Amino acid sequence: MYKRANRVSLVDQVISQMEKLIENGHWPVGHKIPPEMLLMEEFDVSRNTLREAVQALVHAGLLESKQGSGTVVRSTSVFEAAMQRQIEKTGLIETLEVRLALEKEAAQLAAKRRNEEDIAGLRAYIDKCRDAAERRKLEDFIAADIKFHQAIFQAAKNSLLEDLYEHMTKPLYSSIKDLMAMDPQFCFEEEIHDELFRAICDQDVEAAVNEVNEYIAQFKKRLT
């Protein structure tokens, strides 16, 4: 599970190994990392070296030290942490513009490249969105909506675009979650993307792009 650090650049070695444990999900977001003594033993480093590595990851935004409850994982990557900080500084309009740029590209590529497995996945998440809307469960709805959009990026068959969106998903959705919570009925009615799903199934690139334009425009209207 753990690799003992080499005796060269010990702090960097520990940082690299801890980043991998976070990125591969061994240390999930929201969970505490193991106790200091255990990590010192597993990495075969001193307390000062370990603390320096932990502090570096706290500074980078991957970890967060909480008094009385230890150190917890905050983000899955340095990029995600950086995006979270940047999005917190900007307004919702700018966030929606970023979504528009990314999701338009993904939608048109998905319409061109989707296969039957992609369609089945998209249909499953649309059904989950509809079920959550009928039950008026906003958290379940948001989770299914995130999965639906991630499935579009998977269907786009562009690994770099998919990876970029994957790291941006949490900060993007956290920035609009309050808006969705203020008017869940709007989400239940407007955010079930049946037409976008149909356009991707039909390989209608123009319709897919138009649908993305429309739902982002609707979100923008809620802010004005």
- The answer to whether residue 43 sits within a structural domain is yes
Whole-number pLDDT of residue 5 = 55
- The answer to whether residue 5 sits within a structural domain is no
Q: Could you report how far apart the first and last alpha carbons of the chain are, in Å?
A: 51
Whole-number pLDDT of residue 179 = 66
Note whether 124 and 202 are same-domain residues.
Answer: yes
Domain with 36, as residue range(s), is 10-76
Whole-number pLDDT of residue 165 = 87
Whole-number pLDDT of residue 90 = 75
pTM over 0.85: no
- The answer to whether residue 107 sits within a structural domain is yes
Rg of the chain (C-alpha set): 20
Note whether 68 and 93 are same-domain residues.
Answer: no
**What confidence category does residue 176 fall into, taking pLDDT thresholds of 50, 70 and 90?**
low
Note whether 72 and 84 are same-domain residues.
Answer: no
Note whether 173 and 100 are same-domain residues.
Answer: yes
3-state secondary structure of 23: helix
Higher pLDDT, 43 or 164: 43
Note whether 91 and 26 are same-domain residues.
Answer: no
Among 59, 76, 93, the domain boundary falls at 76
**pLDDT tens-digit map of 107-134:** 999 999 999 999 999 999 999 999 998 8
Note whether 202 and 127 are same-domain residues.
Answer: yes
Note whether 159 and 195 are same-domain residues.
Answer: yes
Among 24, 50, 76, the domain boundary falls at 76
Whether 186 has a pLDDT exceeding 70, the answer reads: no
- Which CATH number covers residue 70? 1.10.10.10
Whole-number pLDDT of residue 88 = 72
Note whether 92 and 156 are same-domain residues.
Answer: yes
- The answer to whether residue 153 sits within a structural domain is yes
Whole-number pLDDT of residue 14 = 93
Whole-number pLDDT of residue 86 = 75
Whole-number pLDDT of residue 147 = 93
Note whether 111 and 201 are same-domain residues.
Answer: yes
Query: What does the pLDDT average to over 11-39?
Result: 91
119 vs 145: CA distance, rounded Å: 15
- In this structure, are residues 93 and 220 in contact, taking their beta carbons and an 8 Å threshold? yes
Whole-number pLDDT of residue 6 = 53
Helices (H), 24-91: 36-43, 47-60, 78-89
∠ Cα 136 146 92 (to 5°):
90
- Our count of domains for the chain comes to 2
DSSP annotation of 33 reads: P
Among 76, 98, 120, the domain boundary falls at 76
Note whether 113 and 213 are same-domain residues.
Answer: yes
